[in-house]
Each structure stands twice: as structure tokens, then as C-alpha cells.
């Protein structure tokens, strides 16, 4: 469709500048101090949907951050695509590791550096611009709905209630999400599964106050030492998780599935070099892609306790803390794993230590069928603009709301991601390649076209 390409060419600079404006809003959902920024960002998303031609654009308040809804219904009898995305971002810390400020988008070597550039403002905004193209060129053949939330990075605590209460509003034939990565522009791929999540925080308490480490060292258990022992015990010498029951519900992939996965291009040396490590690490008996895609993991996301300031303090602390998350695969249940994890930590703690553990958030693992209309339309769209069919891959990340959409709306999800694994998601110097941004905007209209033609 030359008119689409022409329209995009003519508006290229504006498409970029609008995204940069959106990236300037520090919409960090995890931090109370950004409450006003969250609202400002929701307002900006609303305005952009209206400008793109959407109707019924509304900000729905929740108990947390608001959800932005909008739609373009050309004919209720036509197929409907529900686009899901999120305008919230991860905290930008540690700030000192950014080469340019996280909320002052900077373009270097054709890459937009900013928190949220890829995850997910950049990818979400491709859909807003694709809508604009379809509307302005009068080529929209199906209905499009948008559900853009502000709590994805904190586990979408309020989306469930919203979806359950608005089933009619959100009614669609598939959910389209761009919040994942592809292998590369040369090797397009589509995620067919995402891992679930169970994210907890642990507080271990030893003595009732901080003590002098000389006067008491050797007399009482040090909570940091005990926490370290507890963490260390979670993996055995093969990096297999030791928690009883943890693997019970894991669906073991067949040899065929593993053989298919092994076909995705993967250069271990490049991968290691890019991460700056001499050796990879993980569960024995599985390849790196398998360990990320089809196996559950437990990661330490944070740890702190005692004196962490400048210099030395000879303290035997009262408390130590950790943030621990498990990535889950089908058919592990997030609630069940959270319970198993918390119970296990409490069980292995010695008598002289008190363990308090609580859930931050969770999400179910999800698999999408590659024979659905949505997957096929996306694959065909990518083939059109990239010149080759995407490889189906299992992603390591989590999009906690997938299981929710399927359960409440009874429809399948299509992951059409245009990011790259090297985009530094959740890390300093998050970036999104301009080429990927524009390629996404180019591809999405084809998805709608092919999807509507399948009915």
C-alpha cells in the first residue's frame, strides 16, 4: 500500500517528535512521587488517540493509575482488534549509569535513548500512528479498540477489575500487543509464549536492634548471613531450583518442540560478549534459549541490609531484605508458586530468624497458538514488510495480563513485538531503534488488513 508508506514518509519527523514528547513524562508507576506524572501521561495518550482519529476516548480511573480507552468502529459487524499497551515505565535507577538523562530522550546512532522508549511507550505509540495512517488514508477495514494501562510494570493490579466490568466495551476478536522483542530486523520473530511471574519481598529479622559487630559477633545470627544462606540454598549445584513442588506443574517440552526452538539463530559467543561475561549460567541440561523460554527461574532483583553507606560501620544488623521473583512457564500458577516460595523461605529459616514475606505482584504464563487468525495475520504482515516469515519463539519476559484477557474476553493474544533483546529494557540506557519504530508503524496496518480479510 503505497499511500501508507507515503503518508508515513511525509509525517516521519512528527511521528518521532510526538513519541519524544511522550518519553519526557516520567511515568514511573512503582513510585508514589510520580502520581501526577502518571495522570499527565494518561492525558497525553488520550490526546494522541483523539488526534489519530479515535472516538470515545476516555480516561478510566482505577484504585491505582488510570486506564486510557479509545476506539474506531467502522462497522460493528466487522472484525475487531483490541490493542493493549502500557504508558507506565520501570524506575530509571541507577541513574548514574545512564549516558543521557532517562527522561530526556536523546538520539544517538539512530537509537532513541530514554526510559520507556521500547517498553512500552515506543511500541504502544506505533499503534496510535498506524491508526492515524489507516484513518487519514481512509483504508481502515476493521474496528480497532485501544486499552492502554498505567500499571503493567507493577503487575496490573487494577486491570482485572476493569476488564471484568467492561467486557462489552472491550469485546474483540483478538488482542494485539507490541511489548516484546524480535530476534533482529534480519531475523524477524514473534513470541508465542511469555513467562508468568511471582514477585515477592522478604524481610528477615535477627536481633531486635542493630548491634555492635564486635561486642555481639559470634553470639547471635546475622540476618544478612542467614538471608545469604537461604538464597544460596534455592539452587543446587546444577542450578536446579530446590524448592519442593516448584516444578510440579511445569509442562515438559517435547523433543520436537526443543528441536524447533534450536533452529532459532543463536551465537553464544556474541551473546556472551554483548553481556560482558566469560560464561553463561543456568539450569544444567538446557540450552540458553530453553532456560529463558521453557524453564522457570528464580532471580534476585534486589538485596539490602546493614550499613550500605560510605566507609565502614561495624554493625551486626537487625534486618536484611530481598526482592525475589520467579518466572513461570505453563502450567505453573502464579498464586501457587508464590505460596510455595513464601512457605519455603519461612520453613528454611532457622529458629533465631523471623521471616516476613509478601507478594509484590504476579502473573500467569501464557502460550498463544500459531494457527490462530491473529498469529497468521501478523506473520503475513511481517512477511510483507520484512520479506520473510517470523520465527516463532518463546520469550522470557512476562505480560501478566495475557491470561486475564483470554479468561474474561475469550480471545487469543498476538504478540507482534518490534523491540530487540539488546534494547536494555528495565536497565539504564533503554533504547529503541528508529528503524524498528518506523518498521513497526509500517507493518501494523497490514496486520489489520490481513486480519479483517480472514473473516
Q: Give the nearest distance from C-beta 141 to its own copies in angstroms.
A: 35
Q: Is 423 a catalytic residue?
A: no
Any bridge partners for residue 147, and if so which? 69, 84
> Could you tell me if 174 and 373 are in contact, meaning their C-beta atoms sit under 8 angstroms apart?
yes
Q: Give the nearest distance from C-beta 65 to its own copies in angstroms.
A: 12
Q: Give the nearest distance from C-beta 2 to its own copies in angstroms.
A: 36
Q: Give the nearest distance from C-beta 422 to its own copies in angstroms.
A: 10
Q: Give the nearest distance from C-beta 292 to its own copies in angstroms.
A: 5
Q: Cα–Cα distance between 130 and 116 in angstroms, integer?
A: 19
Any bridge partners for residue 325, and if so which? 199, 299
Q: Cα–Cα distance between 383 and 416 in angstroms, integer?
A: 12
User: Which of 76/218 has CB closer to its own copies?
Assistant: 218
- Cβ atoms within 10 Å, residue 416: 28
User: Which of 9/312 has CB closer to its own copies?
Assistant: 312
Q: How many CA atoms lie within 13 A of 249 on its CB side?
A: 14
Backbone angles phi, psi at 111, to 5 degrees: -125, 135
User: Which of 360/439 has CB closer to its own copies?
Assistant: 360
Q: Cα–Cα distance between 71 and 56 in angstroms, integer?
A: 6
Distances, alpha carbon 330 to alpha carbons 51, 235, 252, in Å: 40, 21, 9
User: Which of 213/343 has CB closer to its own copies?
Assistant: 213
Q: Is 371 a catalytic residue?
A: no
Q: Which residue is catalytic, options 71, 120, 151, 152?
A: 152
Q: Which residue is catalytic, options 88, 149, 179, 430?
A: 88
Residue 347, H or E segment: helix 334-348
User: Which of 13/351 has CB closer to its own copies?
Assistant: 351
Q: Cα–Cα distance between 206 and 188 in angstroms, integer?
A: 52
Q: Give the nearest distance from C-beta 80 to its own copies in angstroms.
A: 29
CA-wise closest residue to 123 among 377, 419, 330: 419
| Omega prior to 176 cis, within 30 of 0 | no
User: Which of 127/319 has CB closer to its own copies?
Assistant: 319
> Could you tell me if 104 and 32 are in contact, meaning their C-beta atoms sit under 8 angstroms apart?
no
Q: Cα–Cα distance between 30 and 302 in angstroms, integer?
A: 15
> Could you tell me if 400 and 163 are in contact, meaning their C-beta atoms sit under 8 angstroms apart?
no
Active site residues: 88, 152
Amino acid at each position: 500500500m503505497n499511500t501508507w508508506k507515503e503518508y508515513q514518509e511525509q509525517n516521519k519527523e512528527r511521528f518521532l517528535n510526538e513519541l519524544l514528547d511522550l518519553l519526557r513524562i516520567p511515568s514511573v508507576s512503582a513510585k508514589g512521587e510520580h502520581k501526577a506524572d502518571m495522570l499527565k501521561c494518561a492525558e497525553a495518550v488520550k490526546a494522541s488517540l483523539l488526534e489519530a482519529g479515535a472516538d470515545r476516548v476516555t480516561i478510566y480511573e482505577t484504585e491505582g493509575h488510570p486506564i486510557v480507552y479509545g476506539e474506531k468502529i467502522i462497522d460493528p459487524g466487522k472484525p475487531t482488534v483490541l490493542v493493549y499497551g502500557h504508558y507506565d515505565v520501570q524506575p530509571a535507577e541507577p541513574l548514574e549509569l545512564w549516558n543521557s538523562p532517562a527522561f530526556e530522550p536523546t538520539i544517538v546512532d539512530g537509537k532513541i535513548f530514554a526510559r520507556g522508549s521500547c517498553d512500552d511507550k515506543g511500541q504502544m505509540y506505533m499503534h496510535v500512528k498506524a491508526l492515524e495512517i489507516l484513518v487519514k488514508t481512509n483504508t481502515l477495514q476493521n474496528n480497532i479498540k485501544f486499552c492502554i494501562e498505567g500499571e503493567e510494570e507493577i503487575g496490573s493490579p487494577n486491570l482485572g477489575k476493569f476488564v471484568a466490568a467492561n467486557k462489552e466495551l472491550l469485546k474483540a476478536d483478538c488482542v494485539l500487543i507490541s511489548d516484546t522483542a524480535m530476534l533482529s530486523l534480519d531475523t524477524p520473530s514473534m513470541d508465542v509464549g511469555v513467562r508468568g511471574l511471582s514477585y515477592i519481598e522478604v524481610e528477615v529479622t535477627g536481633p531486635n536492634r542493630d548491634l555492635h559487630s564486635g561486642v555481639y559477633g559470634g553470639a547471635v545470627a546475622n540476618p544478612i548471613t542467614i538471608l545469604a544462606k537461604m538464597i544460596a540454598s534455592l539452587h543446587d549445584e546444577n542450578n536446579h531450583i530446590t524448592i519442593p513442588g516448584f516444578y510440579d506443574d511445569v509442562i515438559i517440552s517435547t523433543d520436537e518442540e526443543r528441536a524447533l526452538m534450536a533452529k532459532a539463530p543463536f551465537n553464544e559467543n556474541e551473546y556472551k560478549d554483548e553481556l560482558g561475561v566469560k560464561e553463561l549460567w543456568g539450569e544444567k541440561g538446557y540450552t540458553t534459549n530453553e532456560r529463558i523460554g521453557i524453564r522457570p527461574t528464580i532471580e534476585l532483583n534486589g538485596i539490602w541490609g546493614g550499613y550500605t553507606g560510605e566507609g565502614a560501620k561495624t554493625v551486626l544488623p537487625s534486618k536484611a531484605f530481598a526482592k525475589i521473583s520467579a518466572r513461570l512457564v505453563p502450567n505453573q500458577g502464579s498464586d501457587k508458586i508464590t505460596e510455595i516460595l513464601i512457605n519455603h523461605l519461612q520453613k528454611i529459616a532457622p529458629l533465631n530468624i523471623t521471616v516476613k514475606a509478601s507478594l509484590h505482584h504476579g502473573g500467569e504464563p501464557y502460550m498463544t497458538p500459531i494457527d490462530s487468525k491473529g498469529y497468521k495475520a501478523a506473520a503475513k504482515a511481517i512477511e510483507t514488510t520484512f520479506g520473510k516469515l517470523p520465527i516463532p519463539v518463546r520469550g522470557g519476559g512476562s505480560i501478566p495480563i495475557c491470561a486475564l484477557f483470554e479468561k474474561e474476553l475469550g480471545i487469543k493474544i498476538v504478540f507482534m513485538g518490534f523491540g530487540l533483546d539488546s534494547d536494555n529494557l528495565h536497565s539504564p540506557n533503554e533504547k529503541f531503534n528508529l528503524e524498528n519504530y518506523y518498521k513497526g508503524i509500517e507493518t501494523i496496518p497490514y496486520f489489520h488488513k490481513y486480519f479483517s480479510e480472514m473473516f
